[in-house]
Structures are given as C-alpha cells and as structure tokens.
Amino acid sequence: MFNNPGRKIIIIIALWLYIGVNDSVCQELFGHQPLIEDELTQGVVWRYYHYNTSDGMQSINILILDQTTNNYRLSIAIEDTSLVYTSELAIRNKALAAINGSFFDMKKGGSVVFLQKDKNVINQSVRKDRFTDEAAFAIDKKGEVSIIKKPDDGWKKNGKYHDILSSGPLLLFHGQEEAITDDAFNNNRHPRTAIGLTAGKQLLLVTVDGRNKQAIGMSIAELSQLMQETGCTDALNLDGGGSTTFWIKDRTANGIVNYPSDNKTFDHKGERKVANAVLVLPVKR
C-alpha cells in the first residue's frame, strides 16, 4: 500500500493533524484511562474516571460535545421561585444529559447571579463576592457556546447571545490561567462542576465528586489543572458542593451518573435541589 515512503509520511502527518483538531480531548486523564466511555449520540461522548492519587481517590465525569455537529443543542433550565432537582429539570425538558448550573438562593429559590434567557434578562446578580460572578457561559443564536468575562460596567442585556449564565471563578481564558483568590472557597477541596472549551471546538461539561473517601474533591487550582489537562483553553467553575450533579438519560436507575454528596454516601441518591441547570437537548429531525 505504501510503496512511496514520502506519501506514507504525508498520510501519517495528515492523520495526526486530523486527530489533533478533531479529538483534542485526550482519552487519558493524568495517566488514567476512563472506566466508562460511552457515545450517547454522534458527537457526544461520556467518560467516567475513578482513580487513586497520593492524596486520595478522584471521581470525575466528563461529557465531550463536538460543536461542529448538529445532533444536540445546549440550553439553560430555570426555576424562578422554587428549587428542583437537576434530574427533574432534565426529564421535564426531555434532555439527553444535564449538569447543575450556577449559584442560587438555597432558602427562597431563584438564581443569585446574572441570567439571560431567550434574550430576556431574568435575573441580575446579587452576589457580593465578585469572583463567583466574574464570567459566564453564553449561547448564541447558532447554539455555539462561548465563555465571556463580566463587562467592566456590569452585566446587562447582550443581543449577541440568546442565553447567558454567570458564575465563577473563571479558571482559564484564551489559554491563560486566571488569578485565584486566596480563600477557603477556592483552597479547600469540594465537589466541583465546570464547563470548558477546547481549541478544537469541543465543549466539556465536567463534575468532580467529593466529601467522601472514594472522592476527595478538588480545590479551584486543582480544577483549573484538570480543565487544562483535558485540553481546555477557556473554563469556568459553576456551583459545586452538594449541588454538583451529573445526569444522563437511562445510564443509571435515576439517571444520576456521579456521586452527589448531600446524603454523605457514595451513591447516586444524594442529589440537591437547585434553581437552574445546563441541559444537553437532542435535536429533532
């Protein structure tokens, strides 16, 4: 087949470039292979990692979405006046997958950060700590996701995007690590939820379990390193702790594939009610 050595080299280089652009999320994570790898639909791949480190076990779910396909669309589900499970929001909207969203009022319900849905401002931020409201992920009219920084004059209606949900801290921006505030929220290990983008037009939804001997969680600095390891150039921390939830249709009895910590047990039943969630919706043909 390869009688011409020069042609063989060209083909190998072409394949390497193709793989580098189209599969920029390396299968191996810190030297560990996924225990589960499942293609939910074309362009949407779920990976689960559970491995030991010098400090303890890590339990990580990653959903990789190819933004060059048209098999799904990202959406934000909102509950204004009450709290609802991420799984319930997912089922109600006939989602393929879902993660919990950004920060909310745990007593009254509703978002406490900037939220724009279908070009309408639903909520202005009431957070006093800027680092949990310093950036956002935004969805444009084509369904493509961007991570944007908070404007100097604050959040306001932005006609370029249909949906915007602010959060923080911002982990990575245009390939650069962002400065991290020295405080307990950032320094201590907790369950974490994040969203990221790679240079190869891939969108990542990520959860890190914690508060258990089977899952120690991560600091914000460690979460930033994780997002870099996956190939992200832009990444944003979402609400975490007991809120961290990853749901995938029909993959477990209740759809929860991570190990939410609110019941203090390493199972799929410790889900916390939230005010918003990030949904992956199938595209109707």
User: pLDDT band at 232, cuts 50/70/90?
Assistant: very high
* Six token digits for residue 187: 């320094």
Spell out the residues 6+ positions from residue 284 whose beta carbon is closer than 8 angstroms to its own.
none
CA–CA distances in Å: residue 7 to residues 28, 86, 127, 196, 247: 30, 52, 59, 37, 46
Max Cα-Cα span within the chain = 72
Mean pLDDT of 159-183: 96
3-state class (DSSP) for residue 226:
helix
Instruction: List phi, psi (to 5°) of 91.
Output: -65, -40
User: pLDDT band at 131, cuts 50/70/90?
Assistant: confident
Query: pLDDT (tens digit, 9 = 90+) per residue, 5-16?
Result: 444 344 333 333
- Which class for 17: exposed (0-12), middle (13-18), buried (19 or more C-beta within 10 A)? exposed
**In the predicted model, is pLDDT for residue 244 greater than 50?**
yes
Query: CA–CA separation, 209 vs 217, rounded Å?
Result: 5
Q: Which of 245, 172, 167, 254 is nearest to 209 (CA)?
A: 245
* Residues of the chain above pLDDT 70, percent: 91
Q: Provide the pLDDT for residue 15.
A: 34
**Does the global pTM surpass 0.75?**
yes
How many C-alpha atoms does 23 have within 13 Å on its Cβ side?
A: 9
Q: Provide the pLDDT for residue 24.
A: 63
User: pLDDT band at 129, cuts 50/70/90?
Assistant: confident
Least confident among 7-16, 192-201, 256-265:
7-16
Q: Which of 246, 248, 278 is nearest to 115 (CA)?
A: 278
